[in-house]
Amino acid sequence: MLIRSGIFLVAGLATIFFKKQLNNWKNHILKSIHLKSWIKDERKGYIYTGTLFIIISIMLFIYSILN
């Protein structure tokens, strides 16, 4: 569980700190598969997703310590 906790922590921090690059990468993928109507700026959503990942990481860490 500690390894899963670390994975979620890294994913959460990466999502928060690199939200602009993730958004640009997502838009690039959508352009390449010809879905230009789905392209939008979703950087605020990446903050929420990163926060959710960090909360899951904390819960997994606490669970692994208690068991």
pLDDT in tens, 5-59: 999 999 999 999 999 999 999 999 999 998 888 888 888 899 999 999 999 999 9
pLDDT value for 57: 97
pLDDT in tens, 10-23: 999 999 999 999 99
CB 39 within 8 A of CB 27: yes
pTM: 0.81
How far is CA 64 from each of CA 4, 5, 6, 42, 56, rounded to the nearest angstrom?
10, 9, 11, 33, 12
**Which residues make Cβ contacts (< 8 Å) with residue 57, sequence separation at least 6?**
5, 6, 8, 9, 12
pLDDT value for 38: 82
